[in-house]
Structure 1
Amino acid sequence: MTTRALVTGGAGFLGSHLSERLLAEGRDVLCVDNLYTGSKKNIEHLLANPRFEFMRHDVTFPLYVEVDEIYNLACPASPVHYQRDPVQTIKTSILGAVNVLGLAKRLKVPVLQASTSEVYGDPEIHPQTEDYWGRVNPIGIRSCYDEGKRAAETLFFDYHRQHDLDIKVMRIFNTYGPRMDPADGRVVSNFIVQALRGDDITIYGDGSQTRSFCYVDDLIEGMVSFMRSDRDFVGPVNIGNPGEFTMLQLAQEVIRLTGSTSQVVHLPLPQDDPRQRQPDITLARAKLGWEPQTQLAAGLERTIAYFRGLDRRAKSPTDVSGNS
């Protein structure tokens, strides 16, 4: 019997790749998205597949469907998008979690939460391990996302303890690849778009801040492996690439790979922008046998090729995002 998977946020960057992967495995996919940040362009190549179904729906409202497993990816994930409507962002994380958990409880099916490295905030330990509680500003401009995801994790574990629900909580570190929105303000898309246009590459702060970048195919492999893992392994588990790069190193690599004449300029560091971000993936290696396979240069080359194919007249990246 074919498994039917529900992917909330399925028309987004990660959701579209996950939907594609599940279809390739022979599963039916119900893609749910309100298209606030997702786009039908991300899934247009899937619409003709008879095993793929798209439903426009906001997860802050209950969803009545029949499925065998749930991947909850619904939430704006870039600072530009989640700061545009912070109240809706935190509602999406919390009410969305309540609704998918209620659905999973009714159907008695496993549910995976796409959480985030942002639950660690501006960390005091490096690299970040899953037992670190984080250092998060509860009232800052990023709090709608950070605290929303932290509250969602609380709900998942409370449903697990109180109702014996089969949950998986996955903390995603910076992910990049084809289908990123060129105007979403994330650092990889910002740098690539600026380099291809020959514009100045904007770095927030002195460029010494670090991030660890995971190519989307590796991330999806980790997500699927986690969902298929033993029921008693609920997480949280870090899924990301432990390779650590400064913002200046990333900018220089993008300039090299694009052959751009862009120059680096520095802007003030936004509020609460983390100084370091690197996952400890010891747990993922031990429990899932997973680790990323794609080196940064190879992943950037594929991502640059995707952006070269887009309309060059697309909106310029914004300057309010920081180094996310």
Structure 2
Amino acid sequence: MISQQKTVSPTHFYNWKNYRCAYEVDNPTQSTREGIPLLLIHPIGVGLSRQFWQRFSSEWYKQGRRNPIYNPDLLGCGESDMPHVAYTPSDWAEQLQHFLNTVVQKPVILVVQGALFPVAIELVQKEPSNLIAGLVLAGPPGWAIITKKTPQWQDKLIWNLLDSPLGNAFYRYARREKFLRDFSTRQLFDSADAVDAEWINTLQQGAAKSDSRHAVFSFLAGFWRKNYSQAIASIKQPTLVVVGETASNISKEGKQEKPDERLADYLACLPNGRGIKIPGRNVLPYESTAEFVEALAPFINDIS
């Protein structure tokens, strides 16, 4: 896959609850109608941060789009502070709500990757104003996963096991090139060839800070695992669900689910949803960047 070159945007910072949080904003023009801004929510995982979206931003503007793009680092990731806490979707949603109200200060379309959809759900519930005009779900979790709550004691037990010297050792192992490449090939990408040097280098650079493990362990512990079916049914904003043609699930609950079934389940629940399948597996904005942008453009135009 050919890497898209992008001019690096400067990093900006804002304060939330005495934490220093990082973001960048791409705004290619001030002389023409810009269109509604996009607010990107990156996935959580070893080495992942807002850098996940760089290919998407490059392709968005390469295809002639002009919407400003706000790309924040969630607390515990990238260049944001990394406190030693167990993070929940509600925490990250509260951070983004503050970001929306103090930095962006205008309606946006949320574009959220994978299992960070619960953060977007919580944000929609916290922000009843007109600041969220629509949502784009890139490879959301299987329906059996997003609608099943795990016991709280189980989440805490896994967190305590990971938040230990054993967990620290695992994190050091997990940021090795071989582990990152093997995991990405098995679970994330449709093609092993797409797991390129840019992907691996970005993950290794992001995981170099050992304190980034707290956000990853929070995700692995399952604090995001709830039954969100009623909350999804209450999302009134237009919502686009983008599913990969070879989409898969890591969790056993969704192992037998087919991509068409996932799409149908989401659209049956969302009051104002539409859906599309595109080539790729689970990291569509990175693996199938051009197709992902083409899928989003008509939806964004309709809202703008």
Please, what TM-score do these two structures have when normalized by structure 2? 0.32
Instruction: Specify which structure has the higher proportion of helix.
Output: 2
Larger relative contact order (CA 8 Å, sep ≥ 6) = 2
